[in-house]
Amino acid sequence: MAEGIDRIQKALIGINCFYVLIGVVLLCSSALAMHAVKLVITPVVGGLVFCGALLVIVAVLGIAAAALSHQGLLFIYLTLLTVTFVVQYCVSIACLVVMGEARRHVMLTQGWENASNGTRKELQQEFDCCGLDKQHVDYSLCEKQMDTLHCCIGGCETCRNCYDSLDTRLTQAARYTGGAGLLFGFLELAGIILGWCYRKQPAWAFAHTVLN
């Protein structure tokens, strides 16, 4: 029986080491998503940043709880991991579903209106475009970038707008971060199951693990 408990303990420690890596991946992918569309920082992507940071903390707690075979720490770990799973699952679904065309249009429009001229210049240079759309275009601003905007060679009025490029980038960022969060959320169920199995072992088993 002790051998089986040792296996569960090692599996729990191992999966929490993996959770640390998952948390780092979530943080990095969310940061890349924010950088991909500099105009907007969506609440759902911000939620994944929170989940990634919380998952790293919870994973470290899980490693300590399993290594020390501490019932109290295990209970706190399981509670926090369950909360993380529920929040991450909801945020990921929102990231994949809520980002409809109308919502993206509002976010991009508001982001463009609130952006500085420096940010607009950077985006126009990156996508070789001028203005967000017909209602948000300033050809005089584009003319100041004629040395970097190739589309302005024949006149900035011939440049395409930036909306389609930004909308595509925002959609890709939302799908990537939402998909990653959803996948990793399901993997967290394994840690919840392992934690409960380990915690349900007889009290003498925990003492045996510590003493040996």
User: From CA 22, how far away is CA 15, in angstroms rounded?
Assistant: 10
User: From CA 81, how far away is CA 190, in angstroms rounded?
Assistant: 11
Domain ranges of the chain: 2-211
Query: Among residues 163, 123, 165, which one has the least CA distance to residue 141?
Result: 123
Q: Which single residue is written with the structure tokens 């295990």?
A: 74
pTM above 0.85, yes or no: no
pLDDT in tens, the chain (212 residues): 456 677 878 888 888 998 898 888 878 877 776 666 666 656 666 777 787 888 899 999 989 988 887 888 888 999 998 988 888 888 788 777 766 788 888 888 888 888 888 888 888 888 899 999 988 888 888 888 888 888 888 888 889 999 998 888 888 777 877 787 788 888 888 888 888 887 776 553 444 444 34
pLDDT value of position 51: 79
